[in-house]
Amino acid sequence: MQKNNYIDILKYAMNMERKAGEFYKMYMDKVEEDSNKEIFKQLAEMEDEHYEILEKQLKKVEQDGLFAEFDIKSIGKAEDIFKTNERDIKSIDFSKAVLDLPILRMAYGMESDFADFYSKAAEKAEDPNAKKLLETLADWEIVHRDSFNEEIKLATEHSWFSNSFAPF
């Protein structure tokens, strides 16, 4: 893969991360359930961190055509900020969580697209540092996507049960 391809990938990824941060900041005040507000706040911060990582790499690639070594430990890990299994399910207001479903579905779609983009870019990357960075970002986005899927499932099923409805 050539330098210009890496530059294009990084610029596109930076735009995606910026837009994701804006999305989470905008919808942080629109979601109803408090735990979703906190999730969106943390995701907005995380997307800003992703942007900064990509921006540093872009400068390095523009300068000498190579990616800097990427140390995942230096920036922490993509912790599952949802922690569905760890939080007290009884404290979730599912009547509000159900109202958040359209927004959660949009976030799921966005994270899914990001995971696909980073995975495909990593497959084509020849630079080992680029491959490692892109695979790490893909892994993080997969965690976010899967967590949104669990949130959506949890709110949907609770809504069914509270309304004495079970389609399956």
The pTM assigned to this predicted structure is 0.86
What contacts 36, CB < 8 A, 6 or more positions away?
A: 97, 100, 103, 104, 151
- Structural domain including 120 reads 3-59+90-162
The reply to whether 104 falls in a domain is yes
C-beta separation of 145 from 115 below 8 A: yes
92 vs 147, residue with greater confidence = 147
Residue 71's pLDDT is: 72
With CA atoms as reference, report the closest residue to 13 among 21, 2, 25: 21
User: Average pLDDT, stretch 55-63?
Assistant: 94
Cβ-count burial 79-111 (b if 16+ within 10 Å, e if not)? eebbeeeeeeeeebebebbbbbeebbeebbebb
The domain that holds 136 is classified in CATH as 1.20.1260.10
Does residue 106 have a pLDDT over 90? yes
Residue 85's pLDDT is: 43
The reply to whether 134 falls in a domain is yes
Rg (CA), the chain: 18
Quick: pLDDT tens for 126-166. 999 999 999 999 999 999 999 899 889 988 887 766 666 66
Residue 167's pLDDT is: 62
> What's the number of domains the chain is made of?
1
Token digits of residue 13: 């990824």
Residue 80's pLDDT is: 56
Its sign, for the CA torsion 110, 116, 121, 122, is: positive
Residue 109's pLDDT is: 97
The reply to whether 82 falls in a domain is no
The reply to whether 168 falls in a domain is no
Helix (H, G, I), strand (E, B) or coil at 75: helix
